[in-house]
């Protein structure tokens, strides 16, 4: 089977990129061929699949992301030569419309995945008035797809609420090769927490829509209250310099991958992740797989992963004091921490990318057979 994946920008920090790379890796393992069509690839070495860049423009208010120029001209010849059996689009922009046109012209099934709560994130750029328009545009595109998937039931219900009724839930997996408690490093812990303080970790693309304001305020309250923890921030993005000024004493490690990221996850104690607009939450499953306990917002995809008091703690979205309260519970109650950690280890076992991929192979094959 030949699969063409479309995404506006392939950016190393981006969760959507990581999902596409997981798809490609698993599809290759099963003997399928893949290509990726994008408006911009930040680093071509991140995959061994062919990457085809098409002409693109930067997003005005988010210049590190690009969207392809309209039309099939940039990729039609390449795909004609590749002859895809299925097209899977991962970002609802001009490239997806062009992919849809190509699919219909060539009688190829097309799947879309809704990764991002674009409407919900408008408020972080003072553009809440655009939410109805965003939903209208999403509806126009998604209802033309043969199948629309999204990685959590919460996200699916949100799509249904906005009359996008062809959405179905297909959860993502976690890469157990890279996220596992076996990578815990006492040497790394000592380099961060000389006096054996607990380590609170935040991992994300460092952008304001990740609700970094809540992160900074919660950190500073905790810092005033107590001195038995260290704060570590992993990731890069447009808000990083501002965040460093707002979080004095926190340790910023920038972008990490490979063994170093594995060690940082598994050698920390608590994941603090306040974003309420995740459709899934890759960092949450990575944290659980790494043997640490998450404190996340009781919203979006995060609450589809974390059961409060079972494998982590849920905090009221946007409520700094509640995030502080939940983190302090874990800092103070070692018995509860160990219970949540153990439950998390059991919970995460079903989240293998191999299982996820097999479900998508079935989806692809059924669409191809019935086309």
Q: Reply yes or no on whether the pLDDT at 13 is more than 80.
A: no
Output the pLDDT for position 368.
96
Give me 369's structure tokens.
Answer: 């057979």
**Structural domain of 116:** 2-173+352-370
Q: Is the pLDDT of residue 307 over 80?
A: yes
Residues 207-213 have a mean pLDDT of 94
Say yes or no: 346 and 325 in one domain: yes
If asked whether residues 154 and 35 sit together in one domain, one would say yes
Does residue 122 surpass a pLDDT of 90? no
Answer yes or no: do 344 and 318 share one domain. yes
Query: Tens digits of per-residue pLDDT, 246-256?
Result: 999 999 999 99
Is residue 15 located within the same domain as residue 144? yes
The reported pLDDT for the residue numbered 62 is 66
Number of folded domains in the chain?
2
102 and 250 belong to one structural domain:
no
Do 344 and 365 lie in a common domain?
Answer: no
- Are 137 and 212 in a shared domain? no
Residues 59 and 44 in one domain: yes
Q: Are 327 and 198 in the same domain? A: yes
In this predicted structure, which of 52-66, 231-245, 279-293, 312-326 has the lowest mean pLDDT? 52-66
Do 317 and 187 have their domain in common?
yes
Q: Is residue 223 located within the same domain as residue 84?
A: no
Q: What is the pLDDT of residue 61?
A: 62
Name the residue with higher pLDDT: 58 or 313: 313
Average pLDDT over every residue of 6-27: 92
**64-107 pLDDT tens trace:** 778 898 999 999 999 999 999 999 999 999 999 999 999 999 99
What CATH code is carried by the domain that includes residue 134?
A: 3.40.50.2000
| pLDDT value for 364 | 98
Please tell me the predicted confidence (pLDDT) of residue 196: 86
Query: Residue 127's pLDDT is what?
Result: 82
User: Is a pLDDT exceeding 70 seen at residue 63?
Assistant: no
Instruction: Identify whether residues 256 and 145 lie together within a single domain.
Output: no
């Amino acid at each position: 089977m030949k699969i063409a994946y479309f995404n506006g920008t392939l950016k190393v920090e981006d969760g959507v990129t990581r999902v596409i790379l997981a798809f490609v890796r698993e599809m290759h393992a099963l003997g399928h061929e893949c290509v990726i069509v994008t408006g911009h690839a930040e680093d071509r070495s991140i995959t061994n699949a062919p990457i085809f860049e098409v002409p693109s423009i930067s997003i005005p208010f988010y210049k590190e992301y690009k969207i392809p120029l309209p039309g099939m001209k940039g990729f039609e010849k390449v795909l004609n030569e590749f002859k895809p059996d299925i097209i899977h689009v991962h970002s609802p922009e001009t490239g997806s419309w062009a992919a849809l046109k190509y699919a219909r012209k060539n009688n190829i099934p097309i799947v879309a995945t809704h990764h991002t709560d674009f409407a919900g994130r408008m408020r972080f750029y003072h553009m809440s008035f655009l939410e109805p328009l965003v939903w209208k545009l999403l509806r126009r595109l998604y209802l033309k797809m043969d199948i629309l998937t999204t990685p959590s039931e919460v996200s699916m219900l949100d799509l249904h609420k906005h009359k996008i009724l062809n959405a179905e839930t297909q959860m993502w997996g976690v890469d157990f090769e890279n996220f596992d408690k076996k990578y815990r490093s006492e040497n790394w812990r000592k380099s961060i927490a000389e006096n054996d303080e607990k380590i609170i970790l935040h991992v994300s693309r460092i952008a304001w829509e990740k609700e970094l304001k809540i992160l900074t305020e919660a950190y500073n309250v905790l810092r005033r209250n107590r001195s038995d923890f260290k704060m570590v921030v992993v990731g890069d993005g447009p808000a990083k310099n501002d965040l460093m000024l707002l979080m004095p004493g926190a340790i910023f490690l920038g972008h990490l991958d490979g063994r170093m990221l594995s060690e940082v996850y598994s050698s920390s104690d608590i994941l603090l992740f306040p974003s309420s607009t995740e459709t899934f939450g890759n960092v949450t499953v990575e944290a659980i797989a790494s043997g640490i306990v998450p404190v996340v917002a009781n919203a979006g995809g995060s609450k589809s992963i974390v059961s409060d008091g079972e494998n982590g703690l849920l905090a009221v979205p946007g409520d700094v004091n509640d995030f502080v309260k939940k983190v302090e519970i874990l800092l103070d109650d070692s018995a509860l921490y160990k219970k949540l950690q153990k439950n998390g280890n059991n919970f995460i076992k079903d989240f293998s990318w191999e299982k996820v991929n097999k479900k998508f192979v079935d989806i692809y094959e059924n669409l191809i057979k019935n086309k």
